[in-house]
Copies of this chain bind each other. A is one copy, B any other.
Amino acid sequence: MTNKTQWTLQALADFLGAELSGDAQTVISGLNTIQDASDNQLAFLANPNYQKYLETTRAAAVILKPELADAYPGNKLILANPYLGYARLTSLFDHAPQQSTGVHTSAVVDASATLADGVRVGANAVIEAGVVLEEDVIIGPNSFVGANSRIGRASRLHANATIYHGVTMGAHVVIHSGAVIGADGFGFAPSNEGWIKVHQLGGVVLGDRVEVGANTTIDRGALDDTVLENGVIVDNLVQIAHNVRIGENTAIAGCSGIAGSTTIGKNCTLAGGVGLVGHIDICDGVHVTGMSLVTKSITKPGSYSSGTGMSLSADWRKSAVRFNQLDKMASRLSALEKGFKSRND
């Protein structure tokens, strides 16, 4: 379906495979939350805390679960997962301007690059020798694709993205602006003359449907490749070091950093600001809470944390002082227990 500014409720029900109740010809011109929707918008009710808004919403229609269908007399789309329904509909209402077709005259494309049908290359973009851009790839203005890299079907680089040489991407990959894929891993050997650079001879491989956030960096491998499997999503300002491997559908929130040669399983979620040290293995299904540091391998699915809770700085300073006395406190506690026990014997 091509984007339009208005849809009938029937068309949206068909798109989602949702049950429609009410006026099928209702015109929908946008999406919104149930509390903020205006009378030409379709709202969704995903969070049970917001059920109270069913009484007051001005929405033209509401997407809700079967269990709540009877609670709302107005126009509705009934769907097992309303949030997923909303997510799918956003593609219909995304009116972001399209990049012009073809190769902009100011772009610099090496004669040996291969551009399939439907490829768009933006103004002042640079495509080096031997690059392969598959069908419908979009290269944003001022972006760079290094020699011999390959970008899969319908993938998109936004403006000012940088792909070094020897990077391979699957289909439907999205790379946001400022992201850098394939810079050298941080490898140096100490010597009497200072650090000797370990040239990074591997590449980077991104699977299908990978999304990489703005200003995120994914380094090339030292000998082998750095690998993100299908469906991995990465937020902004994330650092993924050389030879990291990330399993399918794992999600990594902003400002996280993953050190070299660490592997992460499938369906993991790292909250923002998480750090993983190098050379460890995280199994499938692990969640790490915000700004935690993972210092060893994790072999059981579950949620993991480090750090301390927040408090007023004045209170916190007292706790922080005591933290550094903890070992002594533990010894004093043991001594007391012993003394108390011997008195009672």
What residues make up the interface of A, taking CB atoms closer than 8 Å to B? 30-33, 36, 81, 83-84, 86-88, 90-91, 93-97, 104, 106, 108, 122-124, 126, 128-130, 140-144, 146-148, 158-160, 162, 164-166, 174, 176-178, 180, 183-184, 186-191, 194-201, 209, 211, 213-215, 217, 219, 223-224, 230-231, 233, 235-237, 239, 241, 248-249, 251, 253-255, 257, 259, 271-273, 275, 277, 287, 289-296, 302-327, 329-330, 332-333, 336-337, 339-340, 343-344
Contacts and interface: CB of A to CB of B under 8 A. Distances in A.
24 contacts: A31-B223, A84-B189, A96-B199, A97-B129, A123-B126, A124-B124, A126-B159, A144-B159, A162-B177, A176-B183, A176-B184, A177-B183, A178-B217, A217-B236, A237-B237, A273-B293, A290-B295, A293-B307, A303-B312, A304-B310, A304-B313, A321-B327, A322-B327, A329-B330
| Copy total for this chain | 3
B223 A33 contact: yes
A93 B313 contact: no
Contacts of A213: 183-184, 186, 217
A159 B144 CA distance: 7
A254 B249 contact: no
Contacts of A332: 333, 337
A311 B36 CA distance: 40
